[in-house]
Amino acid sequence: MTETQGRSGAPGCPGTEELAILHQWHGLQTGVQRLTDSLFASVEAENGLAPSSFQALMFLMTAPDQAAPMNQLAQALGFSTAGTTKVVDRLADAGLVERRPSCSDRRVTYTALTSAGSETVLAASRSLARVVRDRVVEPLGAERFAELTEAIRSLDPAPEEC
């Protein structure tokens, strides 16, 4: 068998074991994505916050002084600069965030939660906690959920510092 042949012998194809692993991975990855989308859809239905807006507000809620430079927000969300600007524009128009210039670098603009933004993200966070509890923790059990969380966290190549 050559290096480009899988265990099935077909050139350029993964072998049976590789296909099984890839199939499992696909099931895990798509299942987590669909679950995440469903949880965020519940938060959106209850609070009127699009997932990207909720994620931005959550990041700002935990940032020092509940504010962060736009580039840091973009990196945390995994969005382009333009995509982040659109999210922040929508949030600013809704009165949930405000832009602030940096005291030390005039090229830097901070996005900061307003009091309305803090109230909104708190309500949305409570909604998310409730739906996670209802749809994930209760079906799995608290101990199994904690074990699953720790197992996935242990594989994170770039764990966040708390």
Pair of tokens at residue 28:
């895990």
What is the mean pLDDT for each group of 10 consecutive residues in the chain (162 residues)? 50 87 95 96 96 96 94 92 94 96 86 97 97 97 96 86 48
Fill in the amino acid letter for 63: A
Tokens of 85: 């600007």
Q: What is the dihedral of CA 82, 87, 90, 92, to 10 degrees?
A: -100
Residue 14: per-residue pLDDT: 85
What angle is formed at CA 160 by the lines to CA 99 and CA 54, rounded to 5 degrees? Answer: 45
pLDDT at position 108 = 87
Tell me what pLDDT residue 13 has: 85
Using DSSP, state whether 18 is helix, strand or coil: helix
| pLDDT at residue number 127 | 97
- Token match 């190549």: residue? 157
User: Which fold, 40-154?
Assistant: Arc Repressor Mutant, subunit A (1.10.10)
What are the domain boundaries of the chain? Answer: 40-154
What confidence score (pLDDT) does residue 157 get?
A: 87
